[in-house]
Amino acid sequence: MIQNLLPGKHGKLQLWIVMFGSFIGLSLVMISTQLYLDFKNFLTVKSDFLSAQFITVNKKVNVLNTLLNSKSTFSAEEIETLSKMPQVKQVAGFVSNRFRLKTSIQFAGQQLYSDLFFESVPDEYLDIQPDRWEWDSVEGIIPIILPADYLNLYNFGFAPGQGLPQLTPDMISMATLQIQINGEGKERVFKGRIVGFSHRINSILVPMDFMQYANQNFSDAPKLEPSRLIVASDNPADPALMKYFDEQGYELNNELLKNSKMQSLMRVILTIVLFLSAIIIALSLTGFVQFSRLLINKKEYEIRILYYLGYTHRFIASKYLIFYLRITSIVFLFSLISLFAVQYFFGDWMAYKGFEFESTIKLEAICSGFALFAILLITGAWDIFRVTKKLAKS
């Protein structure tokens, strides 16, 4: 009699359909969560993807700037207006040197000389934080960050044509520059050391402390308005922000916006996938509830007989609950297997395409599936106890 409570052959097809729908929904939720976190970690490390992104903004140079020798700078009001844009988190101006400087280095038996410029930005805008990024007036060593493109230009452009050896970042960091600063009738030679290479900022950077010290001691020129701004934004490709830049005649590197556009597209796609997964899960949950109700209603006679024989409605419901737990556990297990399989093959595919992609399963992805599994289980169990009690005592 107790064994007759469970579905027979005639109810198996509906059960398989419900289980398959739940499997698809759980799998999509976990896989979508996993891929979202994978892309977030991958592109955040590689290019500040999904975190606050930094873009460099400047005004367009026109003919009048050339003829009148005027500067395209940003006023305090313009900076304040930009900082109040809802898409903008922070804004800072580049601080430039107001003194003349030259550098020389002994390299490969040759003495190389060059005029130079320095700029500074607050440390929180840097994409690297070198260990030796402090200005010490006693030692007199200036830490310098170069654009990563400069090293590539030297290694693959300048060095081959001049018969010079190519250099690694570590080799360059061991070299010492002689930096001569002139201004206000004073001259001083400092030592300089390259401590890192920036992929974010295309400029020769020195610590803000040194820039303030040098501008105060080697120049009496008034403080200049910044000619470039560095802007931190969660979504610099936002149409409203792009429209504002265009109306104000501001320029920025559009290549830097590709990640932001990809981010927006990825969020839309994953949101749609998660939404569809939620619909499938909701339909599956409804299917499970309807299936359990139909099954219990079909066994109404057996349930009442068992109740009259002394079995409690809790005991009767527990048989259905064990069966329900078994099938939902099977669905969750196969969903986990699909998650591991997709992650394994996707990681291999990304590696084949030349990307260093982390292939570990994220705990958040498993937790998202487990949460839905718990919802299925709790909802189904509650409905089973309720319907069984109603039938047994009716």
Residues 92 and 126: their CA atoms lie apart, in Å, by 12
pLDDT in tens, 134-177: 888 888 899 999 998 888 888 888 788 877 788 888 888 888 88
What tens digit of pLDDT does each residue of 208-267 get?
A: 999 999 999 898 888 888 999 999 887 777 788 888 988 888 888 655 565 566 666 766
Q: What is the pLDDT of residues 65-94, one digit of tens each?
A: 666 666 788 999 999 999 999 989 899 999
Q: What is the pLDDT of residue 262?
A: 65
Residues 309-367: tens digit of each pLDDT: 676 767 777 777 888 888 888 988 998 999 888 888 877 776 676 666 666 788 888 88
How far is residue 9's CA from residue 301's CA, in Å, rounded to a whole number? Answer: 19
| pLDDT for residue 49 | 40
In this predicted structure, what is the pLDDT of residue 386? 79
Q: Is the pLDDT of residue 30 over 80?
A: yes
Sorted by sequence, the CB contacts under 8 Å of residue 70 that are 6+ apart come out as 64
Q: What is the mean pLDDT of residues 177-188?
A: 89
Q: Where do the H-state alpha helices sit in the chain? A: 12-47, 63-68, 76-83, 148-153, 159-162, 169-173, 208-218, 239-248, 258-298, 300-308, 313-352, 363-393
Q: What is the largest CA-CA distance in the chain?
A: 110
Residue 8 has pLDDT above 70, yes or no: no
pTM for this one? Answer: 0.58
Strand order in 228-233's β-sheet? 88-93, 228-233, 53-59, 250-252
- Give the model confidence (pLDDT) of 13-29 as tens digits: 777 877 887 788 788 88
Distances (CA, A) of 276 to 21, 227, 353, 364, 376: 12, 48, 29, 19, 17
